[in-house]
Amino acid sequence: MGGRTWWWGPPTTSSASRSSSGFGFAVASIGDINQDGFQDIAVGAPFEGPGKVYIYHSSAGGLLPQPRQVISGSELGLQTFGYALSGGLDVDGNSYPDLLVGSLAERVVLLRARPVINILNKTFAVTPSKVDPARCTPDSCITVTVCFSYNQSAGDPAYRENITLQYTLEADRDRHAPRVRSCCCW
């Protein structure tokens, strides 16, 4: 065999409760979708409900035991989703590997990988630092400024696309309700 030595680790299995899920029916190398320097894989389980595709990341120690993402055919209205897989292709030209998933329903779905965004810095400023109710307007009492800086890991550095960052600000979430409520007495 040309002097090759094969090594294997513990088997990777689906979290499916049924042994008839077809987990492993299709397996594909999908490239380095999380841009960590290690190749990732997709594993099809076409008979697990409407069919599922498990995305596994790799590391220096090998394949990680838990799937990073599970994509169900029910999200796309398909049965036997994951019957066929083809990965590692950059179909949309953004320098990230995409995944084609087939089913017995004579349909193929293109799952496009998106850039991995790393948040480098974030700042949060509230003005004024002490609220004076006399200076409040009908719309607001404070101004909150949130700034983020980010980079796009790997891929083509010339590729630029606007990103949408969603975030939630919570005020006084650890504050307990006052013990005595004020009320108007006449």
pLDDT tens, residue by residue, 4-46:
666 666 666 555 555 788 998 999 999 988 888 899 999 999 9
One-letter amino acid for residue 147 of the chain: C
Q: Which of 20-29, 80-89, 177-186 has the lowest mean pLDDT?
A: 177-186
Please give the pLDDT value at position 186.
47
Please give the pLDDT value at position 1.
47
Query: What's the pTM?
Result: 0.66
Find out whether 12 and 43 touch, Cβ atoms under 8 Å.
yes
**CA distances from residue 51 to 45, 106, 126, 171 in whole angstroms, order as listed:** 6, 14, 48, 42
Neighbours of 30 (CB within 10 A): 24
Please give the pLDDT value at position 26.
95
Given a cut of 80, whether residue 67 has pLDDT beyond it is yes
Percent of the chain topping pLDDT 70: 77
Please give the pLDDT value at position 34.
83
For 62, the token pair is: 């090998």
Give 157 or 56, the one with higher predicted confidence: 56
Residue appearing with tokens 């999380």: 34
Find out whether 65 and 12 touch, Cβ atoms under 8 Å.
yes
For 167, the token pair is: 């975030």
Find out whether 82 and 52 touch, Cβ atoms under 8 Å.
yes
CA-wise closest residue to 34 among 50, 52, 58, 5: 58
pLDDT tens, residue by residue, 38-66:
999 999 999 999 999 999 999 888 888 89
d(CA 79, CA 3): 43
d(CA 20, CA 72): 16
pLDDT tens, residue by residue, 108-150:
999 988 777 778 888 888 888 888 888 888 888 888 888 888 7
